[in-house]
Amino acid sequence: MKTFTEFGLEPKVLQAITELGFEESTPIQDKSIPIALTGSDLIGQAQTGTGKTAAFGIPLISKIPLSEDRIVALIMTPTRELAIQVAEEIGKLSRYKGTRSLPIYGGQDIGRQIRALKKRPQIIIGTPGRLLDHINRKTIRLDDVQTVVLDEADEMLDMGFMEDITSILSLVPEERQTMLFSATMPPNIQRLAQRFLKEPQHVSVIPKNITAPLIEQAYIEVHERQKFEALSRLLDMESPDLAIVFGRTKRRVDELSEALQKRGYSADGLHGDLSQNQRDNVMRKFRDGSIDVLVATDVAARGLDVSGVSHVINFDLPQDPESYVHRIGRTGRAGKEGAAWSFVTPRETDHLHFIEKVTRQRIAKKPLPSMAEAIEGKQRMTAERLLEIVQSEDFNEYKASSIQLLERYDSVHLLAAAMKLLTGEKKDVSIELTPEDPIRAKKRRPDIRSSGRRFSGGPFGGGNRSGSGKPRGRDSYRGGGSGSSRGGRDSYRGGRDSYRGGDNRSSDNRGDSRRRNDDYVN
């Protein structure tokens, strides 16, 4: 770890870093910043949450002269949310220097983006689809780009953006610096790097345990039918500040967030079928704390950096260990502690052990919280809220009536009644969730494909929609000319999410994760 003063940065950039509260550089920043400042190509590998944005953002901002009025830097990110997030951090880092940056993503009014582009941004942070759209309209030209960053490159390839990335990079001058950042380095990323980077320097920070040590991990063995009761007891017992609950499918997310609301929790759901507006709304409510439980599919929550998430709950286990790591990485951010709980049905215990093995972490088994523990947790929470008010001494208007009450009633009775009122009775509504099939333990033989098929005809149906979200719509987009493409593009994205979250038994998805797991295993 170094302090940022050791990189020889200009004072205005340092000032912004200080204001962001960064005291020491993270390991990936330590290694990347000096290399990036020399202009060399770079491949940076580090887990989510390790500060990769600043690792490329700081040198990028340092390099751009203030007088520059062309687009000289291009950052590509896989999703709209990440584009916004990266743009926010770049914006903060360039606050004093005055570097101009602009996020470009699908779902936002294109006219508004075109107007913003007229203000001559120097850095564009965009998702591949919308970038191509602007390039086709000639509202973005890449002729002057000197630096390209491929952020979360593994995600971009997972989402099928290889072709788009290739088209975009073919429009950027060869003479440039290219930096690629990724949490994982599967073979397709290595191929991408070989193709587009020149003599890159490799920088990687691979912790011994690929999960953060500050995250306490536990699992509870439950039957599918018990999961909702388990969830509500867990939420009561733990009273999380902010929790993300992961569900396997969009249907699951919808049903679960609705069920939680019915039971009186402030929860909402996030998945790819929501409109951009709805997604933004949910995220805003979660960030400002007006909801404290976010129910999400993997894709919807990937890479999101919301500070203060105290709990991640895997209502359904993810298919592959990498998703597990990504999911639990939503908590324990920025050196804070976090808890990750997983619900595991009896038939999924093998799969859990597989996740333990790959992540090289033990996940402790805990009993289902008892009703008494749940109640105790809620009361503790209520007591904390009461004591906060006591300490704030902001209750003068209530004193007179309290004194009157105390003259007539017992103080313990009064306080108990107040606590009951504050704690709130759990609403007694019956909840029915559509059951999900258990996840099967990995088999490392090629015959898994056939067993997967057999499985998809299981008792709960669910059908086999394999490939429904695969880039098929994409091909028709490609052939469809640019006029009608934009709508297709966005719906493709949504479709993608439904592909991921929507049907875990999709053979393509299983194929991917299987390959990746094998990388780990061997």
Among 45-53, 133-141, 231-239, 314-322, which window interacts with ligand ADP (CB under 6 A)? 45-53
Q: Which does 51 bind (CB under 5 to 8 A by kind): ligand ADP, Mg ion, none?
A: ligand ADP
DSSP of 117-162, one letter per residue?
HTT--SEEEE-HHHHHHHHHHTSS--TT--EEEETTHHHHHHTT-H
Rounded CA gap, 13 and 31, in Å?
Answer: 18
Question: Total number of residues binding ligand ADP (CB under 6 A)?
Answer: 17
Q: Mapping DSSP to helix (H, G, I), strand (E, B) and coil, where does residue 254 land?
A: helix
Q: Convert residues 79-98 into a mask of x (bound to ligand ADP by CB under 6 A) and - (unbound).
A: ----------x---------
Q: What are phi and psi of 294, to 5 degrees?
A: -110, 125
Q: Are strands 338-344 and 73-76 parallel, antiparallel or unpaired?
A: unpaired
Rounded CA gap, 360 and 372, in Å?
Answer: 34
Among 31, 52, 252, 486, binds Mg ion (CB under 5 A): 52
Q: Nearest distance from residue 308's CB to ligand ADP, in Å?
A: 11
Q: Nearest distance from residue 87's CB to ligand ADP, in Å?
A: 12
* Contact status: 26 vs ligand ADP (CB under 6 A): yes
Helices (H), 20-127: 27-38, 52-63, 80-93, 110-117
Q: Nearest distance from residue 335's CB to Mg ion, in Å?
A: 17
State the CB neighbour count (10 A cutoff) for residue 420.
Answer: 12
Q: Nearest distance from residue 302's CB to ligand ADP, in Å?
A: 10
Q: Nearest distance from residue 227's CB to Mg ion, in Å?
A: 31
Element (H, E) at 378: helix 371-392
Among 54, 72, 234, 283, binds ligand ADP (CB under 6 A): 54
Residues present in the chain in total: 522
- Residue among 50 and 99 whose Cβ is closer to ligand ADP: 50
- Residue among 71 and 153 whose Cβ is closer to Mg ion: 153
* Contact status: 7 vs ligand ADP (CB under 6 A): no
The tokens for 154 are 């593994």
Rounded CA gap, 118 and 407, in Å?
Answer: 71
Contacts (CB under 6 A) with ligand ADP, residues 305-364: 305, 333-334
- The residues facing 150 across adjacent strands are 76, 180
Among 50-58, 122-130, 362-370, 458-466, which window interacts with ligand ADP (CB under 6 A)? 50-58
Q: Nearest distance from residue 86's CB to Mg ion, in Å?
A: 7
* Contact status: 22 vs ligand ADP (CB under 6 A): yes
* Contact status: 330 vs Mg ion (CB under 5 A): no
Among 48-56, 162-170, 341-349, 424-432, which window interacts with Mg ion (CB under 5 A)? 48-56
* Contact status: 50 vs ligand ADP (CB under 6 A): yes
Rounded CA gap, 135 and 296, in Å?
Answer: 33
DSSP state of 425: P
Residue 404, classified by CB atoms within 10 Å of its CB into exposed (0-12), middle (13-18) or buried (19+), is exposed
Among 32-40, 49-57, 444-452, 485-493, which window interacts with Mg ion (CB under 5 A)? 49-57
* Contact status: 48 vs ligand ADP (CB under 6 A): yes
Q: Nearest distance from residue 53's CB to ligand ADP, in Å?
A: 3
Residue 171, classified by CB atoms within 10 Å of its CB into exposed (0-12), middle (13-18) or buried (19+), is middle
- Residue among 212 and 253 whose Cβ is closer to ligand ADP: 212
Contacts (CB under 6 A) with ligand ADP, residues 499-518: none
Q: Nearest distance from residue 329's CB to ligand ADP, in Å?
A: 8
Rounded CA gap, 220 and 370, in Å?
Answer: 12
Element (H, E) at 296: strand 293-296
State the CB neighbour count (10 A cutoff) for residue 415.
Answer: 12
- Residue among 82 and 295 whose Cβ is closer to ligand ADP: 82
Q: Nearest distance from residue 52's CB to Mg ion, in Å?
A: 5
* Contact status: 27 vs ligand ADP (CB under 6 A): no
The residue number with the shortest CB distance to Mg ion is 52
Q: Which does 470 bind (CB under 5 to 8 A by kind): ligand ADP, Mg ion, none?
A: none
Element (H, E) at 411: helix 411-423
Rounded CA gap, 389 and 395, in Å?
Answer: 7
What residue ranges bind ligand ADP (CB under 6 A)? 22, 24-26, 29, 46, 48-54, 89, 305, 333-334
